[in-house]
Every structure is written in C-alpha cells, then in structure tokens.
Copies of this chain bind each other. A is one copy, B any other.
Amino acid sequence: MILIDGCQYANWSEKIFREMNAGGVSAVHVTICYHEDFRETVENMADWNRMFERFPDLIVPGRTAEDVRRAHAEGRTAIVFGFQNCSPIEDDIGLVEICHQLGARFMQLTYNNQSLLATGCYEENDTGVTRMGRQVIAEMNRVGLVVDMSHSGERSTLEAIEISDRPIAITHANPAFWHPALSNKSDDVLKALGDSGGMLKFSLYPHHLKEKSDCTVESFCDMVARTADLMGIDHIGLGSDLC
C-alpha cells in the first residue's frame, strides 16, 4: 500500500522529512501558496529546489504517479506542490501551464474569499464559477492541474464539479453534517463529488473537527464511515491541514 498525505502545511525541515520517511509516507501534497502572487510563489518553489538539492536521500519532486511509486520503492517521500488559492496565476491564463511546468499539481480556485475564478466559502453570496474560471478550469484539465475546491462556496463547488472534464479534489474538508465549519461540505457536494469520480480528503485541522481539538477518534471514525456510505469508499482519503 502506498501512503499519501492528501494536504499538508508545515515548517518543513530535515527532521520532518525523516519522520515522513520513517512513517512510510510516500507522497505528500504540500501547500506552497496561500496568497502569494506568481513571483512570490516562484520564490517558494526555488526554496523547495534548494531542499531537493540538500536532502536528495529523503525527498524527491513529485510530478507524476511514477515519481510516487519510485519514492515508495526507495523509502523516500515525493513532494507534490499545491496552491490553496489561484493568486499565483494572477490574471494571466498562460501562467496555468507555466505553474504546471514548475511542478504544481493542485490549485484551489478560491481561498475563502471571492477570487477571479469562483467564490470562497466565507462569502455571503456565491455567484459560482466566473467566466475566467471556466476558461481556467479547461486549461487546468488540459495541462493536468487538479481543481481543488476545499475552501470554495457551495454553488461554486457544484459548478466546478460539473464544468471540469476531469475529476476534481477536495483535499481537506469534512462533511457539514458532522461539523458545520464554513469550509466543510454539504451532502449535495459530497454526493456530486463521489458521482463524478472525485476525491475527498478528510481534514484534521481543529476548526474542521467536531469539538475541535477535543474531537475523539471514535467520533472522527464514525464520520468517516458515514461519509464512505454517502460517497463510496473509493472516493475518500485522509488529508491534514494546518492553515
């Protein structure tokens, strides 16, 4: 079995890389942007390039499924870049492919607030996927950048599932039936996600948990089982997020 961490943010270090190797984590989707613009995101990528150079025995760039399989066979961890926002592409659709060339494999269309592409889950009014958003989803489908709607609003998320030719992901959220955090998802969203072949990764971020940091393992596992019944067991996984 290949173990993948569906979404993670941390103060990355050799110590953490060694822990991931020891824990058999063959790949991790790493958040490398929340609000950074393109140039600032490239700076973060350059920082990761330095880590790949410093710790080649522990981590490798994760660009393809083959990279993950190779990391698994070698006991290393593949680092898969993801954006929690569309800020790195600014207002330039050409940057979608450029970011993909630089290793990005996940991009959220929004981070809580309205973006140029869609509406975030903290807005009162969700106007759905914008005109630019439709074009960007098509471009993301073309180049192979996964649409991630973890922090998006209900309507935007349902529309993204409908518009995208490829399955989308929600890399860190839980069902709203269990805990009504603003970024947790309704039954409608979870069913549409499962029916379209997409993936939900559960979140361990305290604000997404029932009883927050006092959440029990029993309560969490019961929620996972109920979500599996709702979506199908093939469409769920575990992600954690410290944002």
CB of A158 to closest CB in B, whole Å: 30
Q: Which residue of B lies closest to A50 (CB)?
A: B94
Q: Are B102 and A46 in contact (CB under 8 A)?
A: no
Q: Which residues of the partner chain B approach A94 to less than 8 Å between Cβ atoms?
A: 43, 46-47, 49-50
Q: Which residues of the partner chain B approach A102 to less than 8 Å between Cβ atoms?
A: 98, 101-102
Q: Which residues of the partner chain B approach A43 to less than 8 Å between Cβ atoms?
A: 92, 94
Q: Which residues of the partner chain B approach A50 to less than 8 Å between Cβ atoms?
A: 94
Q: Which residue of B lies closest to A94 (CB)?
A: B46
Q: Which of A94-110 contact B (CB under 8 A)?
A: 94-95, 97-98, 101-103
Q: Which of A118-162 contact B (CB under 8 A)?
A: none
Could you write out 23 A-B pairs with CB less than 8 Å apart?
Answer: A38-B39, A38-B42, A39-B39, A42-B95, A42-B98, A43-B92, A43-B94, A45-B98, A46-B92, A46-B94, A46-B95, A46-B97, A46-B98, A47-B94, A49-B94, A49-B97, A49-B98, A50-B94, A98-B102, A101-B101, A101-B102, A101-B103, A102-B102
A residues apposed to B, CB below 8 Å: 38-39, 42-43, 45-47, 49-50, 92, 94-95, 97-98, 101-103
